[in-house]
Chains A and B, each alone.
Chain A
C-alpha cells in the first residue's frame, strides 16, 4: 500500500473521457495485459505530486501521456528525462491547481528523488472533446508505442 515500489514502473496519464487525452491510459492498460505481474503498471495518478510518490531511487520508470503541441496527430515523442529537458508546451499548460509531468520531474530532481531511469513518451493528440474514442492516427501510434515499449522491456 504505502511503499510497494517495483523496479519497473509504467505510468499512464490522462483523462479517459476526453478522447485522445486518454491515450496514455490506453497504452498503460494494453501493457498491463501484455506484461507479467513483475512490472508495476499505474493507470493514472491524481496529480504530478503523486507521480513522484510512485517511484523510488531504484526504479526504472516509463511515463506515457498525451501531447498537445499542434504537431501532426499520432506523432510519438520520446525523452530521456534524466538527460534532456522536456520542451515546454508539450505536456504542460492547463492544470492550475497541481503540477504537470515537466514540473514533477523538476521537483523530483530538486528533491533528489529521481528514479534510476525515466523515459517519458508522448503521443500527439487531435481531439479532446468529451468521449472515449481515440482518433484513428492516435490509436495506430498507441499500438506502435505498446510494441516499442514491450521491446524495450525485454
Chain B
C-alpha cells in the first residue's frame, strides 16, 4: 500500500490565505481539500442594527478588489426592499462602474496572477523581464479600469460615491468623453490579450460543471437578471436559497455552497460565458471563436481566455455607455424605507454575488446574508483537484503540486471575500 500527500501550505498569487491538500492512496485520490484559514469576517453581524443606507459602504469593505460588486448587490437589494427601481442613465452609470471593476480585476488576474503559470514564471516581475511590452499593456489596461472606478466611484478602492438609489454625484458629459479614446485603445488591447492567451499551452482537462450565472433578456449580465444554470435552474434571486445551500466543513472558514438537488456548481467568467454567449457583442464572440474556445468552454485552465473575452466586453460596453451618456438631472432616486425582506444577485468579477436583507419600517437592518462567489466555487475547486490529480499521477510530486496550485488559481479565488460565518457558537462550561 503506497500513500502520499500533496500539500501547499500557503497558496501564492491568490487573494487571502489558503492552502490545499490532496491525499493519494494506491494510485487513487482519496481526498482533495481547499484549506481556507483566513479568519471569519462577521460582516453579516456588523450589518444588523445599521441603517439600510449604510449597507453599500459597509459591505464594500469586504473586498479591495471587487468592492463595487458588494455596493451593487446591496444597493439593488435595498431598492428592491423599498419598491424602487433605478433606471435610465443612473442604471447605465452603474453598469459603467461595474465594467471598470471587471477590467481592473480581470486584467490583474490574467496578466499578473495567471499568465505566469502558463509561461513558466514564478511571478509577474519575472514575466516582465522577458515580456516587457505585455506587462506594460497590462499596467495601462488595469489603470483604465481603475480610472473608470475612480471617476464614477469617487476613488479606486472602496468607492465612496455610490449609494442606495444611485450616486451622491454624477459626472458631466465632458468627464466621460475623456474615456472615449482610452476605451477604444482598451478594446484593441483586449483583443491582443485574447490572442496572447490563446497561444498558451493548456492541459487537456474538461469537467462536467453545472454553470450558474445571471441571464438578462437584452444584455450580458452585470447588475440584474434571472439566475440560470446549465442543468435547468431558472429562478428569481428571491428563490436562491430554495435551490442553493451553504454548509460548514471543518477545513474551511468559508461556508461551501452547493445546489441542493445535485452538489457542486461553478460561478464566474466561464459560467457567464457559457450561459450568455449570445449576449456578447459580435466583436467578442468572434475573437473568442478565433481563440479556439467555441461557444462552450469546460476547461478551467482556459478561463484565462474567457476572462480576456469579458475584458473586451467590458471595454466595449463601457464605450457604448460613454458615447450615449446624458447627464441625469438628479444623481439619485429618493427612497423611503419600509419593512421588507429583499434578495438580489449581481455578477462580481468572480461570479454570482447574492445579498439578502430584512429591514424594518425605519430602515434598520434586522438580518443580512451574503454569499460571495468564492464560497460557491470551493466544491468545484476541490472536484477539479481530485480529477486533475487522478489524471496526472505519473507526474513528479513537484510538477503535480505546481499543477494543483494552477488549478486553484484558475478560479481567481478571493479567499478574503469568501470567509463569512453566519453564526458564532460559544460554548462555556
Asked if A111 and B108 make an inter-chain contact with CB atoms under 8 angstroms apart, the answer reads no
Take A97-B113, A111-B135 as given contacts and tell me if A50 and B146 are in contact as well, using a CB distance cutoff of 8 Å.
yes
| Residues of B in contact, count (CB < 8 Å) | 30
Task: Specify which chain B residues have a CB less than 8 angstroms from the CB of A110 in the assembled complex.
Answer: 125, 128-129, 132
Task: Specify which chain B residues have a CB less than 8 angstroms from the CB of A103 in the assembled complex.
Answer: 125
Task: Specify which chain A residues have a CB less than 8 angstroms from the CB of B139 in the assembled complex.
Answer: 49, 52-53
Asked if B16 and A107 make an inter-chain contact with CB atoms under 8 angstroms apart, the answer reads no
- CB closest residue in chain B, given A45: B156
Task: Specify which chain A residues have a CB less than 8 angstroms from the CB of B113 in the assembled complex.
Answer: 97
Task: Specify which chain B residues have a CB less than 8 angstroms from the CB of A106 in the assembled complex.
Answer: 125
Q: Does B15 contact A (CB under 8 A)?
A: yes
A141–chain B nearest beta-carbon distance, Å: 26
In the bound complex, what is the Cα–Cα distance between A25 and B25 (angstroms)? 54
Take A1-B147, A107-B125, A111-B128 as given contacts and tell me if A50 and B15 are in contact as well, using a CB distance cutoff of 8 Å.
no
Q: Does A93 contact B (CB under 8 A)?
A: no
Task: Specify which chain B residues have a CB less than 8 angstroms from the CB of A46 in the assembled complex.
Answer: 64, 104, 146, 156-157
Q: Does B2 contact A (CB under 8 A)?
A: no
Q: Does B65 contact A (CB under 8 A)?
A: yes
B126–chain A nearest beta-carbon distance, Å: 9
Asked if B143 and A96 make an inter-chain contact with CB atoms under 8 angstroms apart, the answer reads no
Per-residue A-contact encoding for B338-374, CB less than 8 Å = 1, 0 else = 0000000000000000000000000000000000000
Take A97-B14, A103-B125, A112-B132 as given contacts and tell me if A49 and B182 are in contact as well, using a CB distance cutoff of 8 Å.
no
| Residues of A in contact, count (CB < 8 Å) | 18
Asked if B124 and A96 make an inter-chain contact with CB atoms under 8 angstroms apart, the answer reads no
Could you tell me the dominant secondary structure of chain B's interface residues? helix
Q: Does A2 contact B (CB under 8 A)?
A: yes
Task: Specify which chain B residues have a CB less than 8 angstroms from the CB of A50 in the assembled complex.
Answer: 142-143, 146, 156
In the bound complex, what is the Cα–Cα distance between A103 and B129 (angstroms)? 13
Q: Does B262 contact A (CB under 8 A)?
A: no
Could you tell me the dominant secondary structure of chain A's interface residues? loop
Task: Specify which chain A residues have a CB less than 8 angstroms from the CB of B178 in the assembled complex.
Answer: 1-2
Per-residue B-contact encoding for A94-108, CB less than 8 Å = 1, 0 else = 001111000100110
In the bound complex, what is the Cα–Cα distance between A103 and B12 (angstroms)? 15
- CB closest residue in chain A, given B65: A97
Q: Does B13 contact A (CB under 8 A)?
A: yes
In the bound complex, what is the Cα–Cα distance between A6 and B182 (angstroms)? 20
Please report which residues of chain A, range 51-103, place their CB below 8 angstroms from some CB of chain B when the two chains form the complex. Answer: 52-53, 96-99, 103
Asked if B136 and A96 make an inter-chain contact with CB atoms under 8 angstroms apart, the answer reads no
- CB closest residue in chain B, given A110: B128
- CB closest residue in chain B, given A17: B61
Task: Specify which chain B residues have a CB less than 8 angstroms from the CB of A49 in the assembled complex.
Answer: 108, 112, 139, 142
Per-residue B-contact encoding for A10-52, CB less than 8 Å = 1, 0 else = 0000000000000000000000000000000000001001101
Take A1-B147, A97-B113, A99-B124 as given contacts and tell me if A111 and B136 are in contact as well, using a CB distance cutoff of 8 Å.
yes
Per-residue A-contact encoding for B3-45, CB less than 8 Å = 1, 0 else = 0000000001111110000000000000000000000000000
Contact of B132 among A52, A96, A97, A111 (CB under 8 A): A111
In the bound complex, what is the Cα–Cα distance between A110 and B140 (angstroms)? 16
Please report which residues of chain B, range 136-178, place their CB below 8 angstroms from some CB of chain A when the two chains form the complex. Answer: 136, 139-140, 142-143, 146-147, 151, 156-157, 178
Take A46-B157, A49-B142, A97-B113 as given contacts and tell me if A2 and B182 are in contact as well, using a CB distance cutoff of 8 Å.
yes
Residues on B close to A: CB < 8 A? 12-17, 64-65, 104, 108, 112-113, 124-125, 128-129, 132, 135-136, 139-140, 142-143, 146-147, 151, 156-157, 178, 182
The 3 closest A-B pairs by CB, nearest first: A97-B15, A46-B156, A110-B128
- The 30 sampled A-B contact pairs (Cβ below 8 Å) are A1-B151, A1-B178, A2-B147, A2-B178, A46-B64, A46-B156, A49-B112, A49-B139, A49-B142, A50-B142, A50-B146, A50-B156, A96-B12, A96-B13, A96-B15, A97-B13, A97-B14, A97-B15, A97-B64, A97-B65, A97-B113, A107-B124, A107-B128, A110-B125, A110-B128, A110-B132, A111-B128, A111-B135, A111-B136, A112-B132
